[in-house]
Amino acid sequence: GASTLARILNVVVAAVGQGGLIGRGECVPYPRYDEKPEATLEAIQAMQEPLAGGMDRIALQARMPAGAARNALDCALADLEAKRAGQRIWNLFGRPAPEPRTTAYTISLGPPEAMAEATAKAAHRALLKIKLGGDGDGARIAAVRRAAPTSELIVDANEAWTEDNLAANLKACADAGVTLIEQPVAKWNVEALKTLSATLGDRASIMADETVCSPQDAMMLARAQASQVFSLKVAKHGGLLRTKEIAAVAEAAD
- Distances from the Cα of 83 to the Cαs of 19, 57, 76, in angstroms? 11, 15, 11
**Catalytic site includes residue 83:** no
**Are the C-beta atoms of 134 and 161 separated by less than 8 Å?**
yes
User: What does the alpha-carbon distance between residue 182 and residue 160 come to, in Å, rounded to a whole number?
Assistant: 11
**Both ends of the chain: CA-CA distance in Å?**
46
Sheet strands side by side (includes 229-230): 105-107, 127-131, 152-156, 180-182, 205-208, 229-230
**Catalytic site includes residue 244:** no
83, 131, 171, 194: the catalytic one is: 131
Considering only CA atoms, which of 186, 178, 223 is closest in space to residue 205? 178
187, 194, 233, 244: the catalytic one is: 233
**Are the C-beta atoms of 131 and 120 separated by less than 8 Å?**
no
Catalytic residues: 131, 233
